[in-house]
Structure 1
């Protein structure tokens, strides 16, 4: 339940269920003991399957292999790989020995890879051999001379991986138990680099307590049990995959289903059908791609009951189709950020369509949120837009090696300042109205792109839309609509778009510019890079 409403934009989640005090390794062992013969992990591309008993044994073997390689508590182990079972094994094995796993974006190239390895001080790097034409081995060779702490490189599927696993024979179960006895749930266990739009990304440092509890509560909120099978086409290197996905699944004895190394709409629906998945994850663009498959209606998705849509604002019309056509009656929207492990707000299983499509839910148990005036820091009355802040077990330990940058976003009261503009309603549900940096100011009027995007999703010829502000000599900024059409052979003109908006939006919100695109520039985690749209299509 949520605490009673007050006049101010503050609320906190309460629950009779306490927070977990486990380390990730101890929590996994509880699942292994409770459900040894249930499936824990299925890799659809390779056909490999793990029961909880086998998964626990393979995690232990890899953990002992890492100990044999001299990985100490607090050492950084990098994982630079696409979605595969080995990624999941590394996640839990590093946690069992108290190492800090460093997630590396599969899209990184030499410059970014080298920065992350140096900044976090990775000693052992575990990587795929390559993906989509990129040779990871070659890129590692290029950057290794400038990464003095990098002492070992392991490539999944090659002899170096087999040697790492084989090294377990030199370490006893007792030695592993001795290491585990030294661990605390408050120890750092993971560094995730946030995708910076300017400069280098920052490494959000997260503890066992941060991410295990967040995964558990996300799973609780969608009602997971050992009966659930969760299809994860979202990348593991991101919180969506490894926290809301993997940790949310294993903390409930459910099954992780990997449909493909990276997102493929047909492979995702095929995995749901073949593995009888009960839950499906995705960012809105993934669900849009699945719904737009020419043979979408041929897939049997009747096993689905729930899932999570997150990562970026979720269009109302897309959510309606997911509920109606994908059988996901209990689908949940989650809101959060890497720095908060990631989820702070989530819709509930029994929420009506308005709450599920018009909000990002209400605060999760054991978390506080408030909406403040971004200039004064004062908590605003309910219903007024301001910056969303969150506090609780989920707030990161800090940015790795960057205390000054940490202090810019986590204040003295341990509130995380999200940079998102939100409205907290009287019923405790929150609406995200935009990013502070994305807000368009036209002639002194504040314009929230999210509002215009939601409206334009209702246009019968528009499949997807992003709204950004671009410079204007007189008004400071003007509104640009970047549109992907349902049928490229049926183009849309700016005059037609403006006519559609004219009687329904205030005049200053009506787009004055239009670009028809085939696709949006995206991050690997599925977020649209609005900064690229602003730069590419600004008036010259």
Structure 2
């Protein structure tokens, strides 16, 4: 067992800046921006002081709606240094989702960029808060969002009613080190400093409350699984608003003095350029990101021999992709991680020396200082190795709860402190886990329990199929029927009948998809998780099954 770290996030940064003051902490290749640990800590302290001068108090909720800009990672530490709670906003949100999150989270400050992809954030916010344009900065009175007082703009200038981020830095000059130290002295490791909205794959978002202790210890153990040191350099193209970016990325680095090399908006070419230019030793991504990098027409031009490790997570990794990441990207020690936001987020991870078979067939074994068990979904009894049940975890990693949702919290965390993930899993005798599906995704057809993952794994073996998602649709006679959404490999053709014929005699008849549709892509959350509930909704409409629901 490793020692648990009992520091606040701010104290951790002070500690690392003291150990490695002149090492590079944060590099933005395209901006030519480089901070040493001393400089980065000073920048965070300056912003923390500016927030105090703005009137932000310990426990206040501050939302950030931005892609991976430098201010994002600065705010992650500046807010923690004064005990404010950073509320992360999905970069893909539109007006209704933004309004829900800001209202439900009681956010008093919003930090935002101009926009992302096809969404103009300034216009979107104006539609939710029309009063902003005619308000003096800091004096906002919004009917829809009564808690919101300040909007801080990250970029050039400041739209009406907002102040520019650099103004916060200036305000910090009016606050002494003594004032900041006095606030820091009141902080406790078990206080909430981060709130992330989750449940994008199942419905209404819930605010997951994470503490200093949650994210530091999870980040440290994640970094240990990759054998991070102060000599490593991690390319981070995954979004900061998600745990993948801010914990598996940022906190795994900061706990080890590892250099952070973020990519602001994912672009496979920019990832390849950053790895080569900065000699990155690690890179993170969901499988689709690694595929985009490997298949980029200029892939062969880049020297990636500095790569050693990193994390692939978010969805299942096809074995051929893993082989190519190890062989062609030189990441021989790449790891797989599994978890959920409610567990800060990583529960299990493969280790650098695990064989490739374990990296593609399992999600690794439990992290140090964490308990894990597989329980029967009917009785709750703990199951032996080899039996499928719900994966549950307990320890420092379990969230404080869902913000203002005590009933939802009680459903997720039982009276003994076990977090129920809702994921179906099997653990082998060596402690390696396979995720076999979600309880909610289980299809019940005529009394038979059908696990989509099993059918997906089978159909993956067809040479024409690139990707496959299996889910249930309503049926009057059987309750549910099996449906498959298939992405074909480029240049390959296939019919619905051919898919069914491939299954006949090889899997049970009741598991053969009744419906097959061919698609180019799947609806995704911004963090790369496939939204099966949206596939189901689309299928119900297309097949006119509304009467069966």
Normalised by the size of structure 2, how large is the TM-score?
0.92
In structure 2, what is the equivalent of residue 4 of structure 1? none
Residue number among 242, 246, 253 corresponding to 1:249 in the alignment: 253
Q: Which residue of 1 aligns with 2:152?
A: 154
Partner of 1:527: 529
One of 125, 144, 164 as aligned partner of 2:110: 125
Q: Deviations over 1:7-28 (max 9, x none)?
A: xxxxxxxx1x210000011111
Question: Which segment is superposed worse, 39-48 or 506-515?
Answer: 506-515
SS at match of 1:537: helix
Which residue number in structure 1 is paired with residue 35 of structure 2? Answer: 50
Greater shift in the superposed pair: 162-171 or 507-516:
507-516
| C-alpha distance in structure 1 between counterparts of 2:508 and 2:391, whole Å | 26
- Structure 1 residue 504: deviation in Å? 4.0
| Structure 2 residue aligned with 1:3 | none
Count, aligned residues: 523
Cα distance in 2 for partners of 1:235, 1:117 equals: 19
1:311 maps onto 2:307 in alignment: no
Structure 2 unmatched ranges of 5 or more: 130-141, 158-163, 545-549
The structure 1 segments of at least 4 consecutive aligned residues displaced by more than 6 Å after TM superposition are none
**Which residue number in structure 2 is paired with residue 355 of structure 1?**
358
State yes or no: 1:206 paired with 2:210: yes
Q: Which residue of 2 aligns with 1:72?
A: 57
Task: Give the drift of 1:503.
Answer: 5.0
1:122/1:149 contact within 8 Å kept:
yes
Cα distance change of structure 1 residues 271 and 452 upon mapping to structure 2, 3 Å threshold: farther
Distance 1:197 1:490, change over 3 A: closer
Residue in 2 that maps onto 1:371: 374
Alignment correspondent of 2:420: 417
Cα distance in 2 for residues equivalent to 1:271 and 1:418: 35
**Is the contact between residue 200 and residue 531 of structure 2 (CA under 8 Å) also seen in structure 1?**
no
Unmatched runs of 5 consecutive residues or more in structure 1: 1-14
Deviation at 1:514, TM superposition (A): 2.2
Query: By how many angstroms is 1:39 displaced?
Result: 1.1
Other-structure match for 1:194: 198
Structure 2 contact 268–296 (Cα < 8 Å) conserved: yes
**1:294–1:508 Cα change, 3 Å:** farther
Q: Deviations over 1:363-415 (max 9, x none)?
A: 11011011111222111222111111110000000111111111111110011
After alignment, is 419-428 or 464-473 more displaced?
A: 464-473
Q: Could you say which residue in structure 2 is the equivalent of 1:509?
A: 511
Q: Deviations over 1:70-106 (max 9, x none)?
A: 1111111111111111100000000111111111111
Residue 186 of structure 2: aligned partner: 182
TM-superposition CA deviations, 1:174-213 (whole Å, max 9, x none): 1111111111111110110113456531100010000111
Query: TM-score, length-normalised on structure 1?
Result: 0.93
- 2:401 matched to which residue of 1? 398
Q: Secondary structure at the match of 2:441?
A: coil
- The residue number in structure 2 matching 1:295 is 298
**Residue equivalent to 2:173:** 169
The correspondence of residues 475-486 of structure 1 with structure 2, limited to 5 A, is 475-486=478-489
Distance (Å, rounded) in 1 between the aligned partners of 2:467 and 2:453: 13
Q: Which has the bigger relative contact order, CA under 8 A and spacing at least 6?
A: 1
- CA distance in 2 between partners of 1:508 and 1:292 (Å): 37
CA separation of 1:512 and 1:266: change in aligned 2, threshold 3 A: farther
Within a 5 Å distance, the mapping from 1:223-234 to structure 2 comes to: 223-234=227-238
